[in-house]
Amino acid sequence: MTENEQFEEDADEATIEIVDSHRGVFGDYGATSSALIDRTFRERIILVAVSFPPFDEPLTEEHLDELSRLVDTAGADEVARFIQRRSAPDPATFVGKGKVEEIKELAIALDCDTVVFDDELSPAQQFNLERILGRTALDRTAVILDIFAQNASSLEGKAQVELAQLKYRLPRLRGKGKSLSQQGGGIGTRGPGETQLEVDRRRLVRRIHKLEEQLRDIGTIRQTQRKARHRGNLRGVVIVGYTNAGKSTLLNRLTDAGVLVEDRLFATLDPTTRRMELPGGEAVLLTDTVGFVRKLPHQLVEAFKSTLEVANDADLLVHVVDGSAVDPEAEIEAVHDVLSEIGARDVPELLVFNKSDSSEGARFYADKFEGSVAISAHTGEGIEVLLETIGDRLRSLLAPIDLLIPYDRGDAIAAVHRSGEVISETPLEAGMAIRARIDASEVARFEEFATAERTTPIGSGT
């Protein structure tokens, strides 16, 4: 008997009847609900992580802590965690046959409903794990998808989440054995026909195409809205950051937007845009976006691209970081990874370390990262400095121009002050020499006064 045949035999012997509380969510098309984690009761969950070389146990524990918070947000409770060290993932079960048996014994002893793995499982690994464990096996991706499904409220958000879920489910479809092997067959018939599995797969593919078309239409509308905002000559500032860093709280603090704020992961998914006045008098559009997380599922990034593209069109990204986090720098890196994936890594960025009221970490990292700001979105500490910094950063993105405006054109001089930042004013014989930073859309108004030469200042005697 080969090793694979032995494995299949062991798996068959290990399979137990799945009772109501131990649901095989991915066993059948459509399952019993749209949720991947049952929320009719608080499930008991075992968390599993594998540490690969170079082995970093504290980092693995930190990832499990975050997974525990994700599971809690999804509506379940961690009852135990299991960490294994391996040089490489096991192709069949990710953790190896022996460890699966240990996890099974622990699950039976603790009466656990589901086992959640910190890394993404292949469809084959998930199938093998569920057969041996006799209970649902999920990965981090499934948990995040479940949370997004709970929190999506807008038509676009629901479509994006459903699309991501269907793309996740599609390769995990499987039938019920011989009962779904064929629709009909025999002498005088048209043949065996489609298997039920093929019918289910075709239905999913058809639904995926419909959702993609719907999101393309919504994306076109968003693009039209962005063009209208550009015509309004308003600069765009987009808030990005790790989930639960305080982005929505900051948006509410700056604009009274009234966005839902909760101390949990992914409390808000839909982007919100509000007009905001800066201390210099300039008006900008401030947009809040969905939070990022380590190992953010690729399906979600793809599905939410129409929403995240707002970051690509921004003049400035306000990157909010939780200063009280265990490892803020790792969270910054995770956000940068997602920004790179959507093509927004080159957009100018302002780091803002939040929660200075509850941790000294915000001020520590603000000092470490030059040009960053420490604030408390909850108490308002540092908000004025933040606004001034945003204004300075936006103005610094504009190249200065030199103007020479005659004294009888006081209206033009006043217009320069309204349209941008005046760096210097020098009275000359021919008029007022002004160096200013003006938005590109406004420069044409002052083209007749543009000059690269300065004449003699008044009273210079030369």
Q: Six-digit token pair at 66?
A: 């975050």
Q: Label residues 312-323 b or e (16+ Cβ within 10 Å = b).
A: bbbbbbbbbbbb
* Contact by Cβ (8 Å): 282, 322: no
Q: Which of 51, 68, 67, 69 is nearest to 59 (CA)?
A: 51
CATH of the domain at 357: 3.40.50.300
Residues 389 and 413 in one domain: no
How many structural domains are present in the chain? 3
Instruction: Please report, for the domain that includes residue 137, its CATH number.
Output: 3.40.50.11060
Residues 287 and 301 in one domain: yes
CA distances from 248 to 269, 270, 272 (A): 10, 11, 9
Note the pLDDT of residue 455.
Answer: 43
| Parent domain of 41 | 3-150
In a domain, 192, yes or no: no
Position 262 in a domain: yes
Rounded to 10°, the helix 196-231/155-169 angle is 140
Do β-strands 283-288 and 272-277 pair in parallel, antiparallel, or remain unpaired? antiparallel
Model pLDDT, residue 198: 79
Confidence (pLDDT) at 288 = 85
Q: What is the pLDDT of residues 106-146, one digit of tens each?
A: 999 999 889 999 988 999 999 999 999 998 899 998 888 88
Same domain? 374 vs 410: no
Judge contact between 250 and 239, C-beta under 8 A. yes
Does 201 fall in a domain? no
DSSP 8-state secondary structure symbol assigned to residue 15: -
Chosen domain end from 95, 128, 150:
150
Within a domain: residue 167? no
CB 44 within 8 A of CB 22: no
pTM above 0.85, yes or no: no
333/298 same-domain check: yes
d(CA 380, CA 250): 9
Query: What is the structure's pLDDT at 462?
Result: 44
Tell which of 150, 177, 204 closes a domain. 150
Residue 205 CB neighbour total at 10 angstroms = 12
- DSSP assignment letter at 42: -
Q: Do 443 and 369 belong to one domain?
A: no
In this structure, the answer to whether residues 327 and 437 fall within a common structural domain is no
Residue 186 has a CB neighbour count (10 Å cut-off) of 8
Here the tokens at position 208 are: 């995926």
392 and 405 fall within a common domain:
no
Is residue 355 domain-resident? yes
210 occurs within a structural domain: no
Which of 127, 150, 173 is a domain's end point?
150
**Does residue 216 lie in a domain region?**
no
Structure tokens at 286: 């401030």
- 367/440 same-domain check: no
Q: Are residues 407 and 306 in the same domain?
A: no
Same structural domain for residues 385 and 259?
Answer: yes
Q: 391, 282 in Cβ contact below 8 A?
A: yes
Q: Residue 272 and residue 257: Cα distance in Å, rounded? A: 8
Residues in the chain with pLDDT values less than 50: 3-34, 176-191, 454-462
Contact 272, 239 (CB under 8 A): no
Q: Which amino acid type is present at position 61?
A: E
378 and 411 share a domain? no
Residues composing the chain: 462
**Residue-level pLDDT at 188:** 46
Q: Are residues 303 and 406 in the same domain?
A: no
Any domain includes 220 = no
